[in-house]
Amino acid sequence: MPGMSYQERRGQIEAYFDRTAAEAWKRLTSDAPVSGIRATVRAGRDEMRAQLLDWLPADLTGRRLLDAGCGTGMLALEAARRGASVHAVDLSPTLIANARERLPAELAGRIEFAVGDMLAPDAGDFDHVVAMDSLIHYELPDALGVLEGFAARTRTSVLFTFAPRTPALTLMHAVGKLFPRSDRSPAIVPVAEGKVRAAVAGDARLAGWQVGRTRRISRGFYTSQAMELTCP
């Protein structure tokens, strides 16, 4: 399980998304016009969300899904439309309040939005877990601890993203620091794909879980890599 560094970083992320950038994040995840930089982030996130959903069954009827770090709930809505029972959790009360406001009446019985930690044990067990851009702010040992927590209560698949270590991404992060704080998210932790694979393969608590599909998506100031863990 994650250590004290996870708890400290979690507090920083909560403060950022609940106060510093809450309004900007709500705008980014809506249809409202955004700046050129944010438009590339929106496009990248839209493509990533579509990719992760594509790795889930087309029919999720009878399946229970955890949307870990759900933000304003866009992925949760799509999963619910496919028939899933969704537990969507985020650290930010502000973003969860916005997600509840956006919830269509016809999906109200299929999604439970909650404020809290994505590893909260009282959430129960799941068929699938999706953690889109929720682990990118944590060091690899803490991210691995989160994956262990997911695997312990998931039956079929865990889909997550990480920030791939590339020269271009490192440069963009440096340039991003020149923009106002409201225009940039908390520092992310780039990691090489090989290190992620090796960490998963060498973790006894993930025994039986295998790395499946993976795909990197780069759109302007958005770069993230999706990875699938499956349990045969």
pLDDT in the model for residue 128? 98
Nearest to 30 by CA among 69, 77, 66: 77
Which CATH class, in words, describes the domain spanning 4-230?
alpha beta
pLDDT in tens, 170-211: 655 555 554 444 444 567 899 999 999 999 999 999 999 999
Q: Which helix (H) or strand (E) holds 48?
A: helix 36-54
Q: Are 77 and 100 in contact (CB under 8 A)?
A: no
Arithmetic mean of pLDDT, 159-179: 70
25 compared with 42, residue with greater pLDDT? 42
d(CA 72, CA 77): 10
Pairing of the two strands 111-115 and 126-131: unpaired
Q: What is the dihedral of CA 43, 47, 50, 56, to 10 degrees?
A: -140
d(CA 128, CA 157): 5
60 compared with 182, residue with greater pLDDT? 60
Q: Which burial class, exposed, middle or buried, applies to 126 when counting CB atoms under 10 A from its CB (0-12, 13-18, 19+)?
A: buried
